[in-house]
């Protein structure tokens, strides 16, 4: 059976047999960095094209169809254009912070790739506090956005950044609580343990209604945290022109853009890992033949399939819903989502203690 | 006109005057939500709007002055460029005013064609508005759905008038050409398409909880305020003010067709949305009444080659998609008007904006400004 884990193991063994351990570790680190940058770039290209195609399908039009077969290389062409554009820095901007912000946002997005299990045994860093690491690092991205908005010395940027700050900080709570429900059920913060616990069924099936509620809350919070419509107030086009990245152009704008899409991928990957079993195939307890058949589909396919299903959901939201107003957005979180997720966490804890899940 | 450096000076002055926390923002002339080149100077306190000051003049082309040097046949074409979304109705208003002065009898057929074209224009304008309004609220998709129907109307216009946007089809005495032979069939096909597809908008926009929350109770304009600001059209009817010129002072044979004047008492953005959707149904019903009953005959009355209005003042008003359009011509008896004044609906509707959104959030400004259905060349002229 095809598995990426064999390939990584072979590379690992070969490195350690032909070099001394320190050098091998350094080479491994370099390979991982290259792979991470590669994933970053490929995901950016694929997701931007996917967004445009999904939007086109919803909006009864064709979407990009000129560059390459079916418009496949449209994003490559766009990226080339953005690289060649002049990166303007406004006169009155805080130059250092203004230039630092896009890199900060991108670095945060790249750091978040580390604990994600892309397939069986393909995980850059299986840290024992994986879930905590993700929630901690993902909240750093707001600093980059605030920095960008403040340093631009533009009123639209400032308003967008302030909105973004209020939004991300609030929605982090319900995202955190919905992640906690799975941690409570699994008893571990390590992502590989969480995936392993779903071997005989994904949590969304095993955990009864509370987990389904947690999943819905997670999707809403994830949409809000990535500043996507209907929660795209930070860059609300019709209100703030482009929000916090109004003044950015060229490649620095592209970094914001890429980071946004990588963030979508990451939240969807986390959602897929926690609620839909990550790379774990669809297993139904007791159906040995069925489970065996499902094992033949490579684990990476399962992971990518689930993640892209969630990404499609989030894109679907964007092209269907109008935007919320800023006070409605905060009302939704503090008056509805947060109490619901607190009560839900309590319910899940009862379920976990009594062992009522399958 | 504000320049970048001036604005920075402005805010520091405000702060030194003790108005701490005030933020002055220029929305426009280039801004995605102003649908054109409207320039609003907004004073904010955080996200809350304290004051809105529209600065006009960015797209002023002195159409009224230009009209004074054009003959009575020529000046009508310029008016297509005012409210370009109801170009037909603008032209009709001018043609009616000239006919009133010359006392030209317009043939039956021309009158019916004029109504048909006006109502098609109204539907096209409202369709575009629905899409643009949804886009102001952050939903992009309805725009494409409404443009699909608007495109059909544009094609019908192109076939008969030869142009899609600035048709210049109405001339003093009737219309410029006869209808295209295929006109009736295409309009009937459009009616079928429209009635089957307009429910999509209801599902996509009106039944959406976010849309309702964004528009209900937002930008409320009471009936008294609507009257005192001189609001007309769907904006005033959304506040329950009956002001449809087609009913009050029928022109061009509107007295012969039966339709309802749509009124909503609420006065908020949602009411104005409902008004426009229901007006499209009314327009469809007018077209349905007339499309099979276009009388035979001339499409244009016999007029002199050179039109000369007698000395005096002439005023007509019509109902465009945006409200009441008045045309005021002062004639000295020559071949060109001595003075022309247009009373445009957008200008008075815009004047109510500050009153409607004061104290609400920036998002509400877009939700309210969208429902005013502003066409900036109509305001500036």
B chain contacts of residue A232, beta-carbon cutoff 8 Å: 138
**Cβ–Cβ < 8 Å for B164, B152:** no
Phi, psi torsion values for A161, nearest 5 degrees:
-65, -40
**Is any Cβ of chain B less than 8 angstroms from the Cβ of A325?**
yes
The count of domains in chain A is: 1
Nearest CA in chain A to B42: A155
Angle between helices A21-58 and A250-275 (to 10 degrees): 90
**Cβ–Cβ < 8 Å for A181, A346:** no
| Tens of pLDDT, residues A10-33 | 888 888 888 888 888 888 888 888
Q: Which residues are paired to B40 by β-bridges?
A: B27, B54
**Is any Cβ of chain A less than 8 angstroms from the Cβ of B363?**
yes
Task: Answer whether residue A323 is part of any domain.
Answer: yes
Instruction: Indicate the pLDDT class of residue A233, thresholds 50, 70 and 90.
Output: confident
Question: Can you give the residue range of the structural domain that contains A145?
Answer: 86-354
| Tens of pLDDT, residues A132-152 | 888 888 888 888 888 888 888
Give the integer Cα–Cα distance in Å for A222 and A235: 16
- Res B11: pLDDT: 46
Mean pLDDT of A326-351: 88
Q: To the nearest whole angstrom, how far is the Cα of B271 from the nearest Cα of chain A?
A: 18
Q: What is the DSSP letter of B53?
A: E
Angle at CA A261, nearest 5°, toward A79 and A239? 95
Whether B145 and A60 lie within 8 Å, measured CB to CB: yes
pLDDT in tens, chain B (381 residues): 444 444 444 444 444 445 566 788 888 787 777 777 888 888 888 788 888 888 888 888 888 888 888 888 888 888 888 888 888 888 889 888 888 888 888 888 888 888 888 999 999 999 899 888 888 888 888 888 888 888 899 999 888 888 888 888 888 888 888 888 888 888 989 999 888 888 888 888 888 888 888 888 888 888 888 889 888 888 888 888 888 888 888 888 888 888 888 888 888 888 988 898 888 889 999 998 888 888 888 888 888 888 888 888 889 989 888 888 889 999 888 888 888 888 888 888 888 888 888 888 888 888 888 888 888 888 888
Radius of gyration of chain A (CA): 21
Query: Which one, of B32, A226, B370, lies nearest residue A234 by Cα?
Result: A226
Instruction: Indicate the pLDDT class of residue A2, thresholds 50, 70 and 90.
Output: low
The burial of A358, by beta-carbon neighbours within 10 Å (0-12 exposed, 13-18 middle, 19 or more buried), is given as exposed
Give the integer Cα–Cα distance in Å for A86 and A107: 22
Phi, psi torsion values for B350, nearest 5 degrees:
-65, -35
Which residue among B144, B205, B363 sits closest to A325, beta carbon to beta carbon? B363
| Tens of pLDDT, residues A235-271 | 777 677 777 888 888 888 888 888 888 888 888 888 8
**Is any Cβ of chain A less than 8 angstroms from the Cβ of B134?**
yes
B interface test, pick of A322, A326, A336 with most B CB neighbours within 10 Å: A322
Which residue among B138, B143, B208 sits closest to A232, beta carbon to beta carbon? B138
How many of the other CB atoms lie within 10 Å of CB of B20? 9
Query: Which one, of B138, B131, B110, B29, lies nearest residue B301 by Cα?
Result: B110
Q: What percentage of residues in chain B have a pLDDT greater than 70?
A: 94
- Alpha-carbon distances of A344 from A183, A332, B143, B321, rounded to whole Å: 13, 16, 39, 51
Chain A window 21-50: which residues touch B at a Cβ cutoff of 8 Å?
A: none
| Tens of pLDDT, residues B186-239 | 898 999 988 888 888 888 888 888 888 888 888 888 888 888 988 888 888 888
Which residue among B33, B210, B362 sits closest to A322, beta carbon to beta carbon? B210
Q: How many Cβ pairs closer than 8 A exist between chain A and B? A: 83
The ranges of chain B annotated as CATH 1.10.645.10 are 63-380
Task: Provide CATH code, domain B63-380.
Answer: 1.10.645.10
| Tens of pLDDT, residues B265-274 | 888 888 988 8
- Alpha-carbon distances of B182 from A56, A199, B166, B185, rounded to whole Å: 32, 66, 21, 6
Tokens 């009124």 -> residue: B263
B chain contacts of residue A154, beta-carbon cutoff 8 Å: none
A interface test, pick of B135, B151, B210 with most A CB neighbours within 10 Å: B210
Please name the residues in contact with B100: beta carbons below 8 A apart, sequence gap of 6 or more: B314, B316
A chain contacts of residue B132, beta-carbon cutoff 8 Å: none
Angle at CA A234, nearest 5°, toward A112 and B10? 135
Angle at CA A326, nearest 5°, toward A223 and A160? 80
């Amino acid at each position: 059976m095809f598995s990426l884990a064999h390939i990584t193991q072979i590379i690992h063994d070969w490195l350690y047999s032909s070099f001394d351990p320190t050098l091998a570790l350094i080479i491994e680190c370099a390979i991982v960095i290259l792979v991470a940058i590669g994933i970053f770039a490929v995901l950016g290209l694929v997701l931007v094209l996917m967004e445009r195609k999904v939007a086109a399908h919803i909006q009864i039009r064709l979407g990009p169809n000129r560059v390459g077969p079916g418009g496949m290389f449209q994003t490559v062409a766009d990226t080339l254009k953005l690289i060649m554009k002049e990166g303007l820095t406004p006169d009155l901007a805080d130059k250092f912070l203004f230039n630092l912000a896009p890199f900060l946002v991108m670095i945060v997005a790249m750091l978040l790739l580390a604990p994600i299990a892309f397939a069986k045994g393909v995980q850059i860093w299986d840290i024992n506090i994986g879930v905590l690491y993700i929630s901690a690092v993902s909240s750093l991205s707001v600093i980059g956005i605030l920095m960008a908005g403040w340093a631009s010395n533009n009123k639209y940027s400032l308003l967008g950044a302030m909105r973004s700050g209020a939004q991300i900080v609030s929605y982090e709570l319900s995202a955190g609580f919905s992640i906690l429900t799975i941690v409570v059920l699994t008893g571990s913060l390590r992502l590989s343990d969480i995936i392993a616990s779903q071997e005989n069924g994904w949590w969304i099936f095993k955990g009864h209604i509370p987990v389904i509620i947690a999943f819905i809350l997670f999707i809403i919070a994830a949409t809000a945290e990535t500043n996507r419509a209907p929660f795209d107030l930070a860059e609300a086009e019709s209100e703030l022109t482009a929000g916090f990245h109004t003044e950015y152009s060229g490649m620095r704008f592209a970094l914001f853009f890429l980071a946004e899409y990588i963030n979508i991928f990451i939240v969807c990957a986390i959602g897929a890992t926690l609620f839909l079993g990550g790379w774990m195939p669809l297993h139904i307890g007791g159906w040995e033949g069925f489970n065996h058949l499902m094992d033949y589909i490579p684990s990476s396919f399962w992971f990518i399939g689930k993640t892209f299903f969630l990404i499609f959901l989030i894109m679907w939201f964007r092209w269907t819903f109008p935007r919320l107003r800023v006070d409605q957005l905060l009302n939704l979180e503090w008056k509805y989502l947060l109490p619901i997720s607190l009560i839900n966490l309590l319910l899940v804890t009862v379920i976990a203690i009594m062992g009522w899940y399958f | 006109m504000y320049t970048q450096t001036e604005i920075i000076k402005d805010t520091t002055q405000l702060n030194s005057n003790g108005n701490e926390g005030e933020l002055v923002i220029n929305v426009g002339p280039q801004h995605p939500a102003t649908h054109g080149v409207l320039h609003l100077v907004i004073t904010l306190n955080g996200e809350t709007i304290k004051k809105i000051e529209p600065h006009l003049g960015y797209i002023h082309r002195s159409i009224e002055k230009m009209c004074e040097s054009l003959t009575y046949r020529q000046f009508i074409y310029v008016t297509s460029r005012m409210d370009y979304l109801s170009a037909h109705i603008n032209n009709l208003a001018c043609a009616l005013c000239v006919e009133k002065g010359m006392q030209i009898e317009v043939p039956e057929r021309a009158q019916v064609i004029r109504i048909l074209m006006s109502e098609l224009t109204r539907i096209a304008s409202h369709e575009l508005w629905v899409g643009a309004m949804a886009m102001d609220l952050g939903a992009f998709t309805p725009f494409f759905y409404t443009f699909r129907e608007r495109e059909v109307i544009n094609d019908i216009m192109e076939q008969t008038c030869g142009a899609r946007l600035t048709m210049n089809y109405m001339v003093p005495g009737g219309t410029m050409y006869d209808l295209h032979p295929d006109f009736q069939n295409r309009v009937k096909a459009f009616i079928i398409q429209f009635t089957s597809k307009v429910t999509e908008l209801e599902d996509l926009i009106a039944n959406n909880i976010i849309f309702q929350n964004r528009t209900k109770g937002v930008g409320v304009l009471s009936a008294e305020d609507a009257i005192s600001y001189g609001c007309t059209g769907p904006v005033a009817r959304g506040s329950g003010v009956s002001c449809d010129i087609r009913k009050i002072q029928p022109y061009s044979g509107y007295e012969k067709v039966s339709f309802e004047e749509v009124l909503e008492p609420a006065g908020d953005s949602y009411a104005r949305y409902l008004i426009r959707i229901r007006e499209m149904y009314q327009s469809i019903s007018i077209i349905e009444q007339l499309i099979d009953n276009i009388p035979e005959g001339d499409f244009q009355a016999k007029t002199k080659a050179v039109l000369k209005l007698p000395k005096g003042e002439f005023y007509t008003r019509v109902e465009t998609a945006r409200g009441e359009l008045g045309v005021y011509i002062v004639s000295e008896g020559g071949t060109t008007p001595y003075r022309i004044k247009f009373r445009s609906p957008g200008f008075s509707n815009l004047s109510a904006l500050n009153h409607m959104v004061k104290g609400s959030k920036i998002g509400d400004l877009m939700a309210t400004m969208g429902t005013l259905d502003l066409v900036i060349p109509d305001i500036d002229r």
